[in-house]
């Protein structure tokens, strides 16, 4: 469980970093690159949730 939380935190940290860098620094040089970084950052959260919930035992 701890490993999944760490991986989730890292993935979400990367996501946040991509958004912040894209729209504070990169957009000044290339709007296309900033948009590409934003698209990548938008794809990360669903995969982070999948990783966080991997092999969770469900008690019905």
Domain chopping of the chain, boundaries: 2-52
Angle at 41 between CA 6 and CA 7, to 5 degrees: 10
> pTM score, two decimals?
0.80
Q: Which of 9, 42, 37 is nearest to 21 (CA)?
A: 37
CA distance 59 to 40: 34
pLDDT value of position 44: 96
The tens digit of pLDDT for each residue in 40-56 reads 999 999 999 998 888 77
CA distance from start to end of the chain: 20
CB 51 within 8 A of CB 7: yes
């Amino acid at each position: 469980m701890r490993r999944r939380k760490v991986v989730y935190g890292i993935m979400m940290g990367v996501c946040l970093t991509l958004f912040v860098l894209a729209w504070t620094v990169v957009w000044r040089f290339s709007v296309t690159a900033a948009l590409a970084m934003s698209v990548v950052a938008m794809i990360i959260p669903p995969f982070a949730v999948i990783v966080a919930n991997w092999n969770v035992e469900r008690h019905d």
